[in-house]
Amino acid sequence: MLAAIFGVSGLALTQEERSFFQDVQPLGFIVFARNIETPDQVRRLVDDLRSTLSHADAPVLIDQEGGRVQRLRPPHWRAAAPAARFGALARQKAQAGAKAVFLNHQLIGAELAALGIDVDCAPLIDVHQPGAHDVIGDRAFSGDPEEVATLGRAAAEGLMSAGITPIIKHIPGHGRSMVDSHHDLPRVATPHAELARTDFLPFRKLNDMPWAMTAHIVYEAIDPTLPATLSSKVIAETIRGEIGFDGLLLSDDLSMKALNGPLDDLTYRALKAGCDVALHCNGKMEEMRLIAAGAAPLSKAAEERYTRGRRQVGKGKVAQIDQVEAELTALLA
């Protein structure tokens, strides 16, 4: 298996995409709004993607956080509330907030499972910081690191109860970014002790999660030159060391403008720095070929992390969905 996850261009696989995936054998795939029309169409696409690979249980990812970031939307799917709404509830009633987060993510998980999608790029456990860029904003549960950790665990456990693998993001913390990493490279000058007390805390408390996604951010107190995704120092000393995360480490999308340079080189550098898997999302064939050229087979350590994560999640299923929806509605009311 190639240490890469790819997107696709449209609602169905092209012959060129099919041949490419059969040839390079990526670990898995990610789907976006451009790939989504109806439940039946999404199920066909997901099945078709997996059929191109020799490992039939290949992970298929999606960004389904709720609020601004949800690829599945009405009329076929539920409009889930943003994380900040659950944080507000938790500040009034802590137990009710955590329960609502769990139920909400159970429902998200059930929707994904019905489509054959088995990995969610959620929960976002970045800590909201006043004055930071709105790229995080209401996607964060709270500005309180302990509250973020509590609600983040409830979200992850809700997904896992439905058989969905959660990805905590953006490790080691994106909440202080003053620019949008989709367009520019953020730099954070906050002292290390303050980062450890705030931004890193939710990731440390959820370091037992199966997957995490890196932040394309320069943390000047740790590595003043390279963003976390490309920094062996940040990955080894902070993510694997100080935070203690030993699950599968996925890069954020390598086509984001925060990173500069040829995509084959960026892929090589991300994997060499310590990312287990390179993520590429836009489905552009010429870019995917470069990612494949720069990637390597999944390392033995990454295979072990991937296998351990699958065992950790298991094959949960949500029963009595109507009852779960009713209980969530009552809590949010």
Q: What is the DSSP letter of 326?
A: H
Selected catalytic residue, list 126, 138, 252, 276 = 252
Active site residue 253: no
**Is 182 an active-site residue?**
yes
Sequence-ordered list of residues with C-beta below 8 angstroms from that of 78, at least 6 positions apart, any chain:
107, 111, 325
pLDDT the model gives residue 143: 96
CA separation for the pair 26, 55 (Å, rounded)? 10
CB 284 within 8 Å of CB 253: no
Query: Does residue 172 contact residue 215 with C-beta atoms inside 8 Å?
Result: yes
Q: 297 forms bridges with which residues in the sheet?
A: 2
Query: Catalytic: which of 23, 40, 47, 182?
Result: 182
Structural domains of the chain ordered from first start: 2-332 (3.20.20.300)
Residue 314 scores a pLDDT above 90: no
Q: For all residues of the chain together, what is the average pLDDT?
A: 96
pLDDT tens-digit readout, 231-266: 999 999 999 999 999 999 999 999 998 899 999 999
- 99's tokens: 């329960």
Q: Are 275 and 301 in contact (CB under 8 A)?
A: no
Beta strands in the chain (DSSP E): 2-6, 26-31, 60-62, 64-66, 69-70, 119-120, 165-171, 187-188, 211-214, 218-219, 248-253, 277-280
Q: What is the pTM of this model?
A: 0.96
What are the pLDDT digits (tens) for 58-70? 999 999 999 999 9
